[in-house]
Amino acid sequence: MSGIRLAGRVLYLTADAQLLRAQLAGENLHFDAARPLLANVSTDELTPAWACYYYDRTLARYCLVGLRGDSIARDAVRDGGFQVIVSGPSKGCGSSRETAPYAELACGVRVVFAPSFEKIYLQNCQNIGLLTSTDFGLLERLERGEELSLSAFSQHLSPISRAIVEAGGLFAYNRARLSGSVRPDLPSHALRPMTLAEKILATHAVADAERGSLGLAAVAPGDALFARADLRFSHEYVTPMADALFRAGFGEDARVADPDSLVLFRDHLTFLESVMPEKHRALGLVEQSRELVNVQRAFALRHGVRLFGEVERDGKPAGSEAICHNKVIEDLALPGELVIGTDSHTCMAGVLGCLAFGVGSTDMANAWLTRDVRVDVPESARVVLSGKLSQGVCAKDVMLFLLAQPEI
């Protein structure tokens, strides 16, 4: 893609539900800075959990069907001819599911605008070639009929993220990186005091992708790099989509590198058939959910990967053998490791002194081959707590309060 010109419509996710319905019925709006837009549009609203039984272009049918309590009908976004989606701040909060931006892309959307994006959603967009911007001036230029270059959407990103966007996605970029035709600039710092997260990233940084050498003297906030994961894990919601991406990106003969450091879980769909509502059964979702299980099992057998499946009692499902993020901290991860998983609760492993975070399907599929993941070294914030906790208040309450602060 050399550039982008607005050839379709713009969908404004307005706080006014009636105005939103009018757009879906065919009315066109133009940018108005004073118009209230929906904030915190989550990945669960973009593709509700039940829609994630699909992992191909069928997802286009279900784009945004979970918005604010099922306010958008199936096929409405896909059939609306929308090329741009605009929302309020914190777009893409919630689950790490890559089905969310993929559903937008499959609908024909090429750019999403918001004052801010959540980390995993933003990285997923970059990985699959869905352009993002917080610059509403670009939106006005598109509406005036201008053609914008990719650099207009990538110039404020880190060097690696910029290169991925301009390559059209993570797979295209990584094929060039692994062949040595692209060499990302590495951070170059003298020894400096570092946080635990920075120390883990410095020791796990990929210094040479061709040779597989690791380690830098130091890293600092804002550095962009690839880091080698010690543990990778995926559950049955995501494994099939990542498997399809893996084979499409690297070929049918591609094999998982170091399968002993990859673990799969069947833990999200246990007991599904006993609780699925009739309206979802009528959509054929029981059969679709079974396909997820079968594809994950076949992937595990093909690559020799450990799968924590279901426990049966008297021939019937009696629960999951393990819950992914709990099993990781109980038995699998060790202090000082880098852990990635296709679950937004992956960061639980931080309790062990790991650096752990969730990733999407494309990041995981890439990590199956390379064992590494793209990381921007995060900024650090010092928090000083004084006084005593009130009765009934626990550490998690404190963390949730801190995370809700605008500074964070």
Give residue 224's pLDDT: 92
- The strand ranges marked E within 136-198 are 147-149
pLDDT at residue 100 greater than cutoff 70: yes
Sole residue written with tokens 């279900």: 62
Across 151-158, average pLDDT: 92
pLDDT for the residue numbered 336: 98
pLDDT digits (tens, 9 = 90+) for 286-338: 999 899 999 999 999 999 999 999 888 887 778 899 999 999 999 999 999 99
* pLDDT tens digits along 17-37: 999 999 999 999 999 999 999
What's the whole-model pTM score? 0.86
Q: Which helix (H) or strand (E) holds 306?
A: strand 306-308
Over 90: is that where the pLDDT of 95 sits?
Answer: no
Is the distance from CB of 161 to CB of 126 less than 8 angstroms? yes
Please give the angle made by the CA atoms of 279, 285 and 287, to the nearest 5 degrees: 135
How far, CA to CA in Å, does 142 sit from each of 67, 145, 156, 344, 360? 26, 5, 18, 34, 29
Read out DSSP for 258-270? SGGGEEEE--SST
Q: Which tokens sit at 243?
A: 């498997």
Region 103-113: mean pLDDT is 97
CA distance linking residue 204 with residue 216, whole number of Å:
8
Q: Which two tokens stand for residue 148?
A: 């914008």
User: Which pLDDT value is given to residue 46?
Assistant: 96
Task: Report the interhelical angle of 170-179 vs 361-370 (nearest 10°).
Answer: 20
Kindly list the domain boundaries of the chain, sorted by start residue. 3-156, 187-408
Could you give the CA distance from residue 126 to residue 278 in angstroms, rounded to a whole number? Answer: 37
Return the percentage of the chain with pLDDT > 90, whole number: 79
209-232 tens-digit pLDDT: 778 789 999 999 999 999 999 999
pLDDT of residue 236: 92
In the predicted structure, residue 1 carries a pLDDT above the cut 70: no
CATH topology (fold) of 3-156: Aconitase; domain 4 (3.20.19)
In this model, does residue 70 exceed pLDDT 80?
no
**What does the pLDDT look like over 269-287, one tens digit per residue?**
888 888 899 988 998 989 9
Task: State the pLDDT at residue 66.
Answer: 94
Residues 364, 137: Cα–Cα separation, whole Å: 34
Mean pLDDT of the chain: 93
The yes-or-no verdict on residue 2 having pLDDT over 80 is no
What whole-number percentage of the chain has pLDDT above 70?
Answer: 100
pLDDT in tens, 161-220: 999 999 999 998 988 888 888 888 889 999 999 999 999 999 999 998 778 789 999 999
* Per-residue DSSP letter, 405: S
Rg (CA), the chain: 22
Who wins on pLDDT, 86 or 403?
A: 86
- CATH for 187-408? 3.30.499.10
| Averaged pLDDT, 52-63 | 93
Contact 357, 325 (CB under 8 A): no
d(CA 52, CA 9): 26
